[in-house]
Amino acid sequence: MEGFVFPNEGIIEWELAIVIYPYITGLVAGAFVVSSLYHVFGMKALKPVARFSLVTALAFLLVAPMPLMSHLGRPERALEIFLTPNLNSAMSAFGYIWLMYLLLVLVETWLVFRPDIVRYARSDDGMKKAIYSVLALGVYDLSEEALAVDRKLIKVLAFIGIPAAFLLHGYVGFIFGAIKANPWWSTPLMPIIFLASAIVSGIALLIVLYVVACKIRNRPLDYHCLRALALWLGGFLSFSVVLEGLEIFSMLYESEESWGIISELVTRKISASYFGVQFVMGSVLPLFVLGGSEIMRLKEPTRTAFSCLSAMLILIGVFAMRWNVVIGGQLMSKSLRGFTSYDPPLWGINGIVVAAGFVALPFVILAIITHFLPPWQEEAKSPPRRKLSF
């Protein structure tokens, strides 16, 4: 501890699990936006990853509430937020927002994959036939009229899902921005910053996953699709960097009494994670790499390698942003005259091992989903293989 810190401020209440929570929900929102860019706005270049981005959003959405539930210490009481909500608390809204969004993504995923499910149910025998028959929900009509209705419903759900995705992650930023007692959090830009960085992280994740999946499946990359993803990534990243810069410059310009400790926080206490990881490695460097790849006449494999490298750096940078917001905001004393410190434990509910498990679990779920429902167009026409497709 440094400076004047009250005894109760030496404990960090929101630990690593609460850092993981907005990180995972951000990946959900970003992945779903990519899917909607194809289904709603008809961006044909994103067709190769449209179905994949949808199941990616579903896999991460299923895990999104788990860090919160583990942080509660009594996860069996999580249902209380549905049964006895405190309507005066903004936090009580999360359960309903998450459940509404989960139902929306589940229905859209079922509609997108319904033709494949029906074909698998008719062609497979034994246990797989039973599984796909259950997934078909008794709807086996693949006539052109039925498929046309499905396409309309998919477009409607994808259109509704865009503001729902914004609400899911913008809500997280609102929770922090509404805490007036903490000057590092209390800013009207916080929900927008969280939302912009969420879209950035989701697109970056899809670039990495798509490249890795194609390598594992020994399939050629669609360079046109990857270039489109890289362009969207660069655009949203530029917007996100501008917002984060505006937040700091507005604090500097206002120079309220809290500016002294905030400037000390970013320049000394979290300078490595804030300037080094979040801005330089996770924002500025990827912007230069993505921009240079477009300006220079590079071969497609080289351009893809640079895009993938930028995406991985961005994923690290967005995680650093979540860390700097959640943990950094709790390092300051309420007297604005000192700092506490925090080092995450290796084990325990809020430990590094458990947090790594939460991050890894969506990838396991995604592998299972893509095994039973291959999102790749060339594989959707045939029954799924016994080997995991991702």
Distance CA 77, CA 219 (A): 46
State the residue range of the domain holding 44.
Answer: 16-178+346-390
| pTM, to two decimals | 0.91
| SS3 call for 8 | helix
Domain assignment present for residue 148? The answer is yes
Cα–Cα distance list, 110 to 23, 92, 119, 386 (Å): 26, 29, 14, 21
pLDDT at residue 203, as a whole number: 96
pLDDT tens-place string over residues 220-270: 999 999 999 999 999 999 999 999 999 999 888 888 888 888 999 999 899
Q: Is residue 126 part of a domain?
A: yes
Whether residue 11 lies inside any domain: the answer is no
- Is residue 205 situated within a structural domain? no
Q: What is the pLDDT of residue 74?
A: 79
Q: What is the DSSP letter of 375?
A: -
**Domain-located, residue 48:** yes
pLDDT tens-place string over residues 333-347: 888 788 888 889 998
- Domain membership flag for residue 143: yes
Q: Is 338 helix (H, G, I), strand (E, B) or coil?
A: strand
Could you list the pLDDT tens digit for every one of the 390 residues in the chain?
676 676 666 778 889 999 999 999 999 999 999 999 999 998 999 999 999 999 999 999 999 999 988 887 777 787 888 888 887 777 788 888 899 999 999 999 999 999 999 998 888 677 778 888 899 988 888 999 999 999 999 999 999 999 988 888 888 888 888 888 888 998 888 999 999 999 999 999 999 999 999 999 999 999 999 999 999 999 999 999 999 999 999 888 888 888 888 999 999 899 999 999 999 999 999 999 999 988 887 888 999 999 999 999 999 999 999 999 999 999 988 887 888 888 899 988 889 999 999 999 999 999 999 998 999 865 555 555 444 444
Bridge-based pairing state of the strands 338-339 and 2-3: antiparallel
How many Cβ atoms are within 10 Å of 281's Cβ, its own excluded?
16
Task: Give the span between the Cα atoms of 157 and 261, in whole angstroms.
Answer: 46
How many structural domains are present in the chain?
1
Q: Is position 102 within any domain? A: yes
Compute the distance between CA of residue 80 and CA of residue 101 in angstroms, rounded to an integer. Answer: 19
Does residue 369 form part of some domain?
Answer: yes
Distance of alpha carbon 327 from alpha carbon 343, whole angstroms: 10
CA geometry: angle at 341 spanning 336 and 347, to 5°?
Answer: 145
- pLDDT of the residue at 390: 43
